[in-house]
Amino acid sequence: MISLTINNNPVEVSEGTTILDAAKLCGMRIPTLCYVEGLKAVGACRVCVVEVKGARNLIASCSMPATEGMEVLTNTRRVREARRTVVELLLSEHNGECQTCERNEDCELQALAAELGIREISYVGEKTRRRIDTSTPALVRDLGKCIKCRRCVSVCLETQHVGALFPQNRGFETVIGPAFCHDLNTVACVQCGQCAAVCPVGAIIEKDQIEDVWKALDKPDNHVVVQTAPAIRAALGECFGYPPGTLVTGKMVAALRRLGFHAVFDTNFTADLTIIEESNELLMRLKAGLGAGDSGLGKTTSPSPESRTPNPEPRFSPLPMFTSCSPGWIKFLEYFHPDLIPNLSTCKSPQQMFGAVAKTYYASKLGKRPEQIVVVSIMPCTAKKSECQRPEMDASGTRDVDVVLTTRELGKMIHAAGIDFDALPDEEMDAPLGLSSGAADIFANTGGVMEAAIRTAYEVVTGRELPLKGLHVAPIAGLSGVKEASLKIEGVKPEWKFLEGVTLEVAVAHGLGNAEQVISSIKSGEKQYHFVEVMACPGGCIGGGGQPRYTNNKVRQARIEAIYREDEGKKFRKSHENPAVMQLYADFLTDGPLGHRSHELLHTSYTPRDKA
């Protein structure tokens, strides 16, 4: 342990703790614009400077480890003036007007200027050149607003192992962006939006599509339905001042109705559907991989492998199977490991399954054509905006999902409509696409898809409920980067006898850097798994690039716990218990999971992409 004083208060910290973190322990918040929890400090913004006795210059507290006997002062005149100068200099280059900025009232630079009491900018000079990059479906870059803090660079390179953004050029000419300052669509960007989630200003934001939704709602002939991803309910409240981890499912439904949506549905419904399809696909792959018995898939019809995947040979359905819900992860694999595309589950994401089902099954119930239905998604994710524009996502004969809004955009829409969120009653989702099990809720959390799939697959194979406390697979929950679990399968039904005594090895990774680690261990032969869940964003969807700012591990943990509460409060805890999903199979997907119609509507294929 190291003893030091911060503003004359003694504090003990472990070796390697920075002054910034040590200060937190004694209740002092040091402002910073470039620090990101868990990542290497770059010391780019210089806002976090402090005085250290004996040191000639002010010191950046984010990158300086505390040392024995250090005497730190965080709030002296010299410190305050230095911080004010730094922020004034940033403001003198910052090319943006607060009133018209997307980040107005949600901007760290603006907040810091207010906190430091800056009333005028003493430095006049050239502004950063403005250039707007709208080249990608999900993200918009406004170079004039960039303060070169490099948070996006760290997140993109360290957390996500993508490296789409890097400082280009030097000095005042520095641009944070893709190679040679070209547009974002010229490099391998997976559209995960973690850059937009950490950007302190309005330099990287999601493509604002609120107006598209208003337009759809204004058109009298449209039947506009909305689906909300599982992660929204645990985070939307933050847009209205509720603490992270507050469940606002009922109020969210009420707000969506008041915005004028004709039906309020749940992506959870198709999360349950995904589990039915994906757990059957897993069992199919296990059967191919572990020496097949001759039975089909339980009571469901088992189609030949030819109809199931775009690649007709069984050897193209290898193990481990990777989950396919996270469009950032899909793009990552397509760009960086196209050789592993056959390992991706062919199941579409719940968002896209929803679009396909809403514009076929639901449309036919209403006697409408697919084009008369508008599907709006509320997603914690920016990559979903990109996913719905993939050319193959038109199984209904038209775009399956029309517009995707992030959680933040929905919050803005509710504000704009003048809805008093706090005063809203709790309302229920509409039937039939609004009904879901707890297994669908946990899709929001890292480890959730895996747990939901295990709950169903175990029961299909053994006829018994998963024998774990609370139906939770504890080793794969929580915020460790890579998690593993082994599950011994015993007492199987006769048709699954090839699985008797088999230990199912699974892994869960969140954040693409962690996914990369799992992939390396698989490729080197060090690890062998049957099933791997990957979510592009740290924490899973609850930490998505479209969630309310600012998301750190404490916030992630609070949202994760809220989602487990939602799951545990559900009448149905397993996807195959969802009566509305079972009805869908009985009425519409009549050839069962992995059947012909499922294949057409609910499964997809992937495209190898050139990363350079």
Partner 1 sequence: MPFSTYLSKCPDCHEATEEELMVRLDDVLADYTQVPGALIPVLQITQAIFGYLPETALKKIALSLGKSYSEVAGVVGFYSFFTTVPRGKHLVRVCLGTACYVRGGKEVLAASKDLLRIEVGETSSDRMFSLDVGRCFGACGLAPVIMIDDDVHQRVRPAQLPKILDRYRDNSATDDNGNGESD
Q: Which is nearer to partner 1, 178 or 448 (CB)?
A: 178
Strands (DSSP E) found in 314-380: 321-322, 373-379
Q: Considering 148, 541, 574, 575, which one is annotated as catalytic?
A: 541
User: How far apart are alpha carbons 234 and 413 in whole angstroms?
Assistant: 18
Told to check if 59 binds partner 1 by CB under 8 A, we report no
Q: Which is nearer to partner 1, 187 or 247 (CB)?
A: 187
Q: Minimum distance from CB of 166 to partner 1 (Å)?
A: 4
Single residue of 187, 504, 541, 602 touching partner 1 by CB under 8 A: 187
Told to check if 50 binds partner 1 by CB under 8 A, we report no
Q: Is 317 a catalytic site residue?
A: no
CB 65 within 8 A of CB 20: no
Told to check if 180 binds partner 1 by CB under 8 A, we report yes
Name the token pair of 528.
């062998």
Q: Is 392 a catalytic site residue?
A: yes
Q: Is 384 a catalytic site residue?
A: yes
**Cα of 230 vs its chain's centroid, Å:** 11
Q: Minimum distance from CB of 520 to partner 1 (Å)?
A: 11
At residue 49, the 3 state secondary structure works out as: strand
User: How far apart are alpha carbons 378 and 266 in whole angstroms?
Assistant: 10
Name the token pair of 269.
């419904």
Q: Which stretch binds partner 1 (CB under 8 A): 135-143, 171-179, 363-371, 425-433?
A: 171-179
User: How far apart are alpha carbons 321 and 505 in whole angstroms?
Assistant: 11
Number of shown-chain residues binding partner 1 (CB under 8 A): 18
Q: Minimum distance from CB of 340 to partner 1 (Å)?
A: 17
Q: Which stretch binds partner 1 (CB under 8 A): 45-53, 164-172, 233-241, 448-456?
A: 164-172
CB 254 within 8 A of CB 427: yes
Q: Which is nearer to partner 1, 58 or 519 (CB)?
A: 519
Alpha helices in 171-261 (DSSP H): 194-198, 210-218, 249-259
Q: Which is nearer to partner 1, 31 or 177 (CB)?
A: 177
Q: Is 505 a catalytic site residue?
A: no
Give me the count of residues in the chain: 612
Name the token pair of 490.
């015993």
Q: How many CA atoms lie within 13 A of 134 on its CB side?
A: 4
Q: Is 575 a catalytic site residue?
A: no
Q: Which stretch binds partner 1 (CB under 8 A): 45-53, 172-180, 197-205, 269-277?
A: 172-180
Q: Which stretch binds partner 1 (CB under 8 A): 110-118, 174-182, 366-374, 450-458?
A: 174-182
User: How far apart are alpha carbons 28 and 4 in whole angstroms?
Assistant: 14
Q: Considering 251, 348, 384, 574, which one is annotated as catalytic?
A: 384
**Contacts of residue 153, Cβ cutoff 8 Å, sequence gap at least 6:** 165, 166, 167, 176
Told to check if 131 binds partner 1 by CB under 8 A, we report no
Start-to-end CA span in the chain (Å):
47
User: How far is the CA of 116 from the CAs of 80, 86, 101, 109, 199, in angstroms?
Assistant: 8, 11, 21, 10, 20
Q: Minimum distance from CB of 164 to partner 1 (Å)?
A: 6
Q: Which stretch binds partner 1 (CB under 8 A): 160-168, 207-215, 317-325, 486-494?
A: 160-168
Q: Is 387 a catalytic site residue?
A: yes
Told to check if 166 binds partner 1 by CB under 8 A, we report yes
Q: Considering 281, 451, 516, 577, which one is annotated as catalytic?
A: 281
User: How far apart are alpha carbons 1 and 12 in whole angstroms?
Assistant: 6
Single residue of 5, 7, 85, 168 touching partner 1 by CB under 8 A: 168
Angle between helices 407-416 and 249-259 (to 10 degrees): 60
Q: Considering 152, 325, 347, 388, which one is annotated as catalytic?
A: 325
Single residue of 31, 96, 137, 177 touching partner 1 by CB under 8 A: 177
At residue 34, the 3 state secondary structure works out as: coil
Q: Minimum distance from CB of 149 to partner 1 (Å)?
A: 16
**Contacts of residue 51, Cβ cutoff 8 Å, sequence gap at least 6:** 58, 59, 72, 73, 74, 76, 78, 79
Told to check if 609 binds partner 1 by CB under 8 A, we report no
Q: Is 520 a catalytic site residue?
A: no
Told to check if 121 binds partner 1 by CB under 8 A, we report no
Q: Is 541 a catalytic site residue?
A: yes
Number of other CB atoms surrounding residue 325 within 10 Å: 27
Told to check if 188 binds partner 1 by CB under 8 A, we report yes
Residues in contact with partner 1 by CB under 8 A are 157, 162-170, 177-180, 187-188, 611-612
**Active site residues per annotation:** 278, 281, 325, 345, 384, 387, 392, 541
